[in-house]
Amino acid sequence: MNRNLPVLLLLIIFSGYLSSCSLLKRNGKHKHVAKDSVVVVQGEEKAVPHIDTIVTAPPVVKQDTVVKSNDAAMKELIARVTPYWTNRIAYKTFSGKAKIHVETPDAGNDFAAHFRIRKDSVIWVSINLAGISVARVFVTQDSIFLIDYYHKEAKVLPLSQIAKILPSAVDFKSLQNLVIGEPLVGGDITEAKYTGDSLVLKVEDSNYFQNIIYNNADSTMRSELLTTQKPDGPISTAEYKDYEITNGRKLSASRVLHVQNKDALYLLEMNFSKWEFDEQLDYPFSIPKNYR
């Protein structure tokens, strides 16, 4: 089944759902301060073997070199550049704080988001305005929970039915990748090209086409173009920059994502001011009994 772009989940959570609740009006006053008393998920995990996040780059080709999918040389080049594509951050947990700017067809908003992730298990997001928690999101492999503290409302849905409140289906892995700053979806390399100091990879799976540009010197991802196999599906472009190393992991501190879904245009800017890997985290989330 074809799915719309996973990036729309954050765009809608950050703007559509919250703006519809009037949470993100710039001049609004919010007196409610959220206090949680229940920890849903906590505990330790087994250590994950460390994998270096910088791979050895193939030599730069001075002239543009394109290898077509039906050439024998393509297989050799793909084998040589596969470490770029398969290289992922090794971690157990992630926590980070980011300033978020979102623009949708209806509004533009700025706020802060605190992320906590237990890899492949839990994504927790606290959304704040002026230091006050106004919303919280809790995602597991099969469910999504959303709390609107301002209107004392909550939504709980299986992740498979998220299209009831969002205009797209989504999976846990893609949302996790969006927060960490890794390619949104998987797939196989079908074509490779050196251009100056860059390496361009074309990647494909049953739902998506991706064009990803890497910096040939240090293997960091510069940009990503993601389109659906369906001709009229949404298009996403992402830019990754300001890489910094923390605990041996290289992470893009600044990202800009543009999404076009038919005639609707979306912008998401994420600027991380701090982040940590492999700390012991808890994920406080409780829905008060008097909430709808």
Q: pLDDT at residue 21 above 70?
A: no
Q: How many CB atoms lie within 10 A of CB 45?
A: 12
- Which two structure tokens, joined as six digits, stand for 23? 């949470």
Q: Does residue 290 lie in a domain region?
A: no
Which pLDDT does position 135 carry in this prediction? Answer: 86
Q: How far is CA 189 from CA 79, 82, 206, in A?
A: 9, 8, 13
Burial class (CB in 10 A: 0-12, 13-18, 19+), 144: buried
Per-residue pLDDT of 86-141, as tens digits, reads 999 999 999 999 999 888 787 778 889 999 999 999 999 998 888 888 889 899 99
Mean pLDDT of all residues in 258-265: 83
Which pLDDT does position 123 carry in this prediction? Answer: 94
| % of the chain beyond a pLDDT of 70 | 73
* DSSP state letters, 245-258: EETTEEEEEEEEEE
Burial class (CB in 10 A: 0-12, 13-18, 19+), 273: exposed
Q: pLDDT at residue 200 above 60?
A: yes
Q: What is the pLDDT confidence band of residue 144, given thresholds at 50, 70 and 90? A: confident
Q: Does residue 49 lie in a domain region?
A: no
Q: How far is CA 103 from CA 10, 166, 268, 289, in A?
A: 12, 16, 7, 33
- Which two structure tokens, joined as six digits, stand for 231? 């001709």
Q: Does residue 78 lie in a domain region?
A: yes
Which pLDDT does position 242 carry in this prediction? Answer: 96
Q: pLDDT at residue 196 above 80?
A: yes
DSSP-derived 3-state class of residue 88: coil
Q: What's the CATH code of the domain at 220?
A: 2.50.20.10
Rounded Cα distance between 92 and 48, Å, is 7
Per-residue pLDDT of 202-257, as tens digits, reads 999 888 899 999 999 999 999 999 888 888 878 889 999 999 998 889 999 999 98
Per-residue pLDDT of 23-63, as tens digits, reads 333 333 333 333 333 434 433 333 332 323 323 333 333 33
Which pLDDT does position 57 carry in this prediction? Answer: 33
Range of the domain at 124: 7-25+61-277
Q: Does residue 40 lie in a domain region?
A: no
Which pLDDT does position 267 carry in this prediction? Answer: 87
> Sign of the CA dihedral 1, 175, 205, 237?
positive
Q: Does residue 205 lie in a domain region?
A: yes
Which pLDDT does position 28 carry in this prediction? Answer: 38
Q: Does residue 111 lie in a domain region?
A: yes
Give whichever of 65-79, 86-100, 158-172 has the largest mean pLDDT: 86-100
**Parallel/antiparallel/unpaired status of strands 198-204 and 208-215:** antiparallel
Q: pLDDT at residue 70 above 60?
A: no
Mean pLDDT of all residues in 164-175: 64
Q: Which of the pair, 33 or 180, is modelled with greater confidence? A: 180
Q: Which of the pair, 182 or 72, is modelled with greater confidence? A: 182
Which pLDDT does position 79 carry in this prediction? Answer: 93
Q: Does residue 34 lie in a domain region?
A: no
Mean pLDDT of all residues in 68-80: 81
Helix, strand, coil abundance in the chain, percent, nearest 5: 15, 45, 40
Q: Does residue 137 lie in a domain region?
A: yes
Q: What total number of domains does the chain contain?
A: 1
